[in-house]
């Protein structure tokens, strides 16, 4: 199974790109979805998070208090590493399971932090890396409109991701997304054809 890792900074257009591939009947594995699944109520990962941070991360209904944890990480950068050390192995295992079950010509693994994590990261599950790229101005504008976050919050997220230069250096293909959705889709068409051809080798 050919696995194409799709990544990009916040506000780059990863979701729009993955939605387009989904419409071409390509199986999409969204790491943001997996990240929510691994911390479901009573899950082993959630129990580890409680042990690491305290009972305050749990809501009255037994679910993870994402907002409180996100705000804590925002002011305690080291906490992000602790959280990732707990969740990333579980996310990777779940991603591998979904890859093994995929039945389409190839599959897309969508992850904001695809290229982080070194030899144990999600990148190791992929044979091709596709980066959706845009300039910082567009990142901040799109993310603020979408998530109603402040520029400071968006900048903090960007600081936790690889720099654009580091991301682009690891890409097999880069799609610049500074224009319309139609322009983005037009750039994805030849890549889809390329991946269909390449998938025959796997």
Q: Does the annotation place 14 within a ligand binding site?
A: yes
Tell whether residue 96 is among the known ligand binding residues: no
pTM listed for this prediction: 0.86
- Are 190 and 20 spatial neighbours (Cβ–Cβ below 8 Å)? no
CATH architecture of the domain with range 1-26+104-201: 3-Layer(aba) Sandwich (3.40)
Q: Where are the domains of the chain?
A: 1-26+104-201, 34-103
H or E element that contains 174: strand 173-176
Judge whether 13 is annotated as a binding position: yes
User: Is 82 labeled as ligand-binding?
Assistant: no
Per-residue pLDDT in tens (0 to 9) along the chain, 202 residues: 999 999 998 888 999 999 999 999 999 999 999 999 999 999 999 999 999 999 999 999 999 999 899 889 888 878 988 998 899 899 999 999 999 999 999 999 999 889 877 666 899 999 999 999 988 777 677 777 666 677 777 777 777 677 888 889 999 999 999 989 999 999 999 999 999 999 999 8
Is position 87 annotated in a ligand binding site? no
Measured in degrees and rounded to the nearest 5, phi and psi for residue 108 equal -115, 125
Residue 156 CA, chain-centre distance (Å), reads: 16
């Amino acid at each position: 199974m050919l696995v194409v890792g799709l990544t990009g900074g916040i506000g780059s257009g990863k979701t729009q790109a993955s939605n387009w591939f989904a419409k071409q009947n390509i199986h999409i594995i969204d790491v943001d979805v997996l990240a929510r699944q691994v911390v479901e109520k009573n899950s082993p990962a959630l129990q580890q998070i409680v042990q690491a941070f305290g009972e305050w991360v749990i809501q009255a209904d037994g679910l993870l208090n994402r907002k409180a944890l996100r705000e804590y990480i925002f002011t305690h950068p080291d906490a992000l590493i602790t959280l990732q050390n707990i969740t990333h192995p579980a996310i990777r295992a779940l991603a591998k399971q979904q890859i093994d079950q995929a039945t389409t010509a190839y599959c897309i693994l969508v992850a904001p932090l695809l290229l982080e994590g070194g030899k144990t990261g999600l990148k190791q599950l992929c044979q091709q890396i596709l980066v959706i790229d845009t300039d910082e101005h567009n990142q901040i504008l799109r993310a603020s409109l979408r998530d109603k976050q402040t520029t400071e919050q968006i900048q903090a997220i960007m600081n936790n991701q690889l720099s654009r230069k580091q991301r682009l250096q690891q890409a097999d293909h880069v799609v610049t997304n500074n224009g319309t959705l139609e322009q983005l889709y037009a750039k994805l068409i030849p890549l889809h054809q390329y991946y269909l051809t390449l998938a025959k080798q796997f």
